[in-house]
Homo-oligomer: A and B are copies of this chain.
Amino acid sequence: MIQAMHELAATHLDPFLYERIAEKIAGLIQKRTFRPGEKVPSVRRMSLQERVSISTVLQAYFLLEDRGLIEARPQSGFYVRLQPRPLLPEPAISKPSLSASQVNVSELVASIHDAIARPDIVPLGAATPSEELLPVKRLNRILARIARESDGEEHSYGVIQGSPDLRHQIARRSVDWGCSFSEEDIVVTFGCTEAINLCLRAVAGPGDVIAVESPTYYGFLQIIESLKMKALEIPTHPRDGICLEMLDNAIQRNPIKVCLIVSNFSNPIGSRIPQAKKKELVQLLFRKQIPLIEDDIYGELYFDQERPGVCKAFDTNGQVLLCSSFSKCLSPGYRVGWTSPGRYKDEVKRLKLMNSLSTVIPTQLAISEMLRTGGYDHHMRRIRRAYSSQVQKMTEAIGHYFPNGTRVTRPRGGFVLWVEFPKTVDTLELYRKALEAKISIAPGSLFSPKQLYRNCIRINCAHPWNDKLDLAISTLGKLVV
């Protein structure tokens, strides 16, 4: 049913359709057809009535929510707001041009990463977790014990696919995100970075076109660049992720070899693809025989009650290559990531052998032990609360200090915010000025191969809130104007 509607919607495809629907509803609210506190038509009803997809209606409603006209009530629907909301509006869905690009964004990235190591810099640039929120003492104790009790096995090259213990622990937990892996399904890698590298190389080659979200994680763009592939930006909503109609459209016009996305709490815009839409995405790509590389590195950092599922959960034929790591939750320095590459496992394993042979063993065993004993769950409850609160505080500070016309995302997980300034602001210039003031930010153009988003920045909220951060945001607010 939804399928048919989607296809229908695709026949009169229009990126501005949702805006027109939003305006229609806004008009009805203004005319008091729908009054404050009253329910607006359900998403399903509007989709049938307007002959458009569920996604399009949702985008329209999110836009109205941004403008403070309606609000979502859990398990009920959307209602006309009693009064305007105090939050800054969200950025709108992105509108990148639909042609593939050679990628070249690496100039700034090294300097942003180098800033991490400088204690005099306020680190709002790189998306690194705070050491204060990592289970440093516990991991240290575990690693020391592993080293003390080692019988020498930790010093061998080890199994190429990764420690069976660790793979077992990951497989055991895969039910949390809707999968049911066995340890044989998993290949351990040096962080998510190596996993994405190997998966891209398993399914695509030089010159091939990779569909990515817009904006997307600059690390993806760098990997694509280094592999001499091309990136094609697909419009992406800050709330519900990549636009399926536009993706479908792009697939018809371009030889897309693989789609690469962050399904939950994407970096940088924090979007989370709803479960039904994840299923639609997998089905769309299945019909087109295009593999999906899904990065779920932020999936465990959810702020609401439930751990969101992954696209991989809807994968019936092994076309989804799920990638993740423990760098955001446990320890970046341990460099332990993994992939469950579906039908591409043999190729990924072969590339792992050629890329780095095998993964460091003692740190794999330390992570495995942390997962086995439950120390992980306790730790995760703590940092989810912390990140949720820090994102909230950062959002408030941005609302307070940043100029009128600023928009900011409202992620329900992860630890980055995406800030959209008025069009006149040049954030590359802001980046340089901020660095002089000893504040590191990530300028928006990094997140697009076409260097769109020149008026945007990404802010890392991983560090516990303090006066230094407050002052940094206040300083940034002054530098913008």
Query: Contacting chain B: which of A245-253, A315-323, A357-365?
Result: A357-365
Q: Which of B150, B222, B333, B334 contacts A136 (CB 8 A)?
A: B150
Interface size of A as a range = 35 or more
Return A353 CB to nearest CB of chain B, in Å.
Answer: 6
Interchain nearest-CB distance for A370 vs B (Å):
12
Bound form: Cα–Cα A223–B145 in Å: 36
- CB pair A148–B144 under 8 Å, yes or no, is yes
Say yes or no: is A481 at the interface (Cβ < 8 Å to chain B). no
User: C-beta contact mask, A94-123 vs B, less than 8 Å → 1, else 0?
Assistant: 000000000000100110011011000000
Question: Cβ of B143 and Cβ of A155 under 8 Å apart?
Answer: no
Which of A156-164, A178-186, A414-422 touches B? A156-164
Q: Are the CB atoms of B144 and A147 closer together than 8 Å?
A: yes
Q: State whether the Cβ of A393 lies closer than 8 Å to any Cβ in chain B.
A: no
**What 0/1 pattern do residues 304 to 328 of A give for CB contact below 8 A with B?**
0000000000000000000000010
Could you show 16 A-B contacts with beta carbons less than 8 Å apart? Answer: A106-B350, A109-B353, A110-B349, A110-B353, A114-B159, A117-B158, A131-B156, A136-B155, A140-B150, A155-B334, A157-B332, A157-B333, A226-B350, A226-B354, A226-B355, A355-B355
**A56 within 8 Å of B (CB atoms):** no
Q: A147 to B147, Cβ gap below 8 A? A: yes
Q: How many copies, total?
A: 2
In whole angstroms, how far apart are the Cα atoms of A109 and B201 in the complex?
Answer: 19
Cβ contacts under 8 Å, A106 to chain B: 350, 353-354
Given contacts A144-B148, A154-B333, A155-B334, 16 further A-B contacts (CB under 8 A): A109-B353, A110-B353, A117-B156, A131-B153, A136-B152, A136-B155, A141-B148, A153-B333, A190-B360, A194-B356, A206-B206, A333-B362, A334-B362, A355-B355, A360-B360, A362-B363
* Chain B CB within 8 A of A205 CB: yes
Do A356 and B354 have beta carbons less than 8 Å apart? no
Going nearest first, the 5 A-B pairs with the smallest beta carbon separation are A144-B147, A143-B147, A190-B356, A155-B331, A226-B354
Confirm or deny: A193 has a beta carbon within 8 angstroms of a beta carbon on chain B: yes
Closest approach, in angstroms, between the C-beta of A138 and any C-beta of chain B?
Answer: 11
Q: Which of B141, B193, B206, B362 contacts A356 (CB 8 A)?
A: B193
Verify B193–A205 contact, CB threshold 8 A.
no
Q: Which residue of B lies closest to A128 (CB)?
A: B157
Does A191 make an interface contact (CB < 8 A)?
Answer: yes
Q: When chains A and B are docked, how far (Å) is the Cα of A65 from the Cα of B179?
A: 65
Contact present for A226 and B205 (CB under 8 Å): no
A134 an interface residue at 8 Å Cβ cutoff? yes
**What residues of chain B lie closer than 8 Å to A145, measured between beta carbons?**
144
Report the bound CA distance from A481 to B206 in whole Å.
47
- Name the B residues within 8 Å of A35 (CB-CB): none
> A335 at the A/B interface (Cβ < 8 Å)?
yes
Assess whether A39 is interfacial by the CB under 8 Å rule: no
Instruction: Given the known inter-chain contacts A109-B353, A353-B109, A354-B222, please indicate yes or no for A156 contacting B197, CB distance below 8 A.
Output: no
- Which chain B positions have C-beta within 8 A of A147? 140-141, 143-144, 147
Contact of A191 among B114, B148, B356 (CB under 8 A): B356
Asked whether, in the complex, the Cβ of A360 is within 8 Å of the Cβ of B332, the reply is no
Counting chain B CB atoms within 10 Å of each CB, the highest count among A114, A194, A197 belongs to: A194
Instruction: Determine the residue in chain B with the shortest Cβ distance to A195.
Output: B356
- Asked if A259 lies at the interface with its beta carbon under 8 angstroms from chain B, I say no
A117 touches which of B139, B159, B356 (Cβ 8 Å): B159
- Bound state CA distance, A110 and B351, in angstroms? 11
Interface assignment of A173: CB less than 8 Å from any CB of chain B = no
- B113, B156, B354: which contacts A353 (Cβ < 8 A)? B113
Mask of A160-178 contacts with B, CB within 8 angstroms, 1/0: 1000000000000000000
Q: When chains A and B are docked, how far (Å) is the Cα of A126 from the Cα of B358?
A: 14
Instruction: Kindly name the residue among A134, A155, A193, A225 whose own CB sees the greatest number of chain B CB atoms within 10 A.
Output: A155
- Judge whether A228 is part of the interface by a CB distance below 8 angstroms: yes
Q: How far is the CB of A86 from chain B (nearest CB, A)?
A: 36
Give the complex CA separation of A191 and B225 in angstroms. Answer: 24
Would you call A333 and B144 a contact (CB within 8 A)?
no
- How many Å lie between the Cα of A162 and that of B100 in the bound state? 34
- Contact indicator A360/B357 (Cβ below 8 Å): no
Q: Name the CB-closest residue of B to A354.
A: B226
Query: In the bound complex, do residue A205 and residue B223 qualify as a contact, i.e. CB atoms below 8 Å apart?
Result: no
Query: When the two chains form their complex, are residues A357 and B226 in contact, meaning their CB atoms are under 8 A apart?
Result: no
Cα distance, A201 to B136, chains bound together (Å)? 35
Q: Which residues of chain A from 332 to 376 have any CB-CB distance to chain B below 8 Å in the complex?
A: 332-335, 349-351, 353-363
